């Protein structure tokens, strides 16, 4: 059986708009950036157990409709600016899962 490799654009195209996407602490950032470049829309992110840079980047790119997580932070780099803005202006529906 041959193994088929996908490039990042093809992999990002397999995530339809409106999909639920689980994002853990160490997310594949190249794929996250490919989702942002293809302008994915209305994603429901599940930050497991919390979200980080990948979640913040997708929110900043306008890809996220809702987020289910106990929080989003950038560790020693401080608050996640796009998440913080979205939480304040309610541009993303946030489901607290603490």
Rounded CA separation 25/3 (Å): 28
pLDDT number for residue 64: 98
Backbone angles phi, psi at 26, to 5 degrees: -110, 85
Six token digits for residue 9 = 């654009």
DSSP secondary structure string for all residues of 5-66: P--HHHHHHTS-TT-EEEEESS--HHHHHHHHHTT--SEEEEEES-B-HHHHHHHHTT-EEE
40-82, pLDDT tens digit by residue? Answer: 999 999 988 899 999 999 999 999 999 999 999 999 999 999 9
Question: Would you list the domain boundaries of the chain?
Answer: 18-96
Q: What confidence category does residue 4 fall into, taking pLDDT thresholds of 50, 70 and 90? A: confident
Q: What confidence category does residue 3 fall into, taking pLDDT thresholds of 50, 70 and 90? A: confident
23-38, pLDDT tens digit by residue? Answer: 987 789 999 999 999 9
Q: What predicted TM-score, i.e. pTM, was given to this entire model?
A: 0.91
Strands 20-24 and 43-48, sheet pairing: parallel
């Amino acid at each position: 059986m041959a193994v088929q490799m996908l490039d990042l654009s093809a992999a990002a195209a397999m995530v339809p708009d409106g999909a639920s996407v689980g994002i853990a602490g160490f997310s594949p950032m190249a794929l996250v950036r490919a989702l942002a470049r293809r302008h994915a829309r209305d994603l429901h992110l599940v930050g497991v157990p919390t979200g980080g840079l990948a979640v913040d980047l997708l929110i900043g790119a306008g890809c996220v409709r809702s987020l289910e997580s106990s929080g989003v932070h950038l560790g020693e780099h401080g608050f996640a600016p796009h998440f913080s803005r979205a939480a304040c202006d309610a541009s993303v529906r946030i489901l607290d899962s603490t």
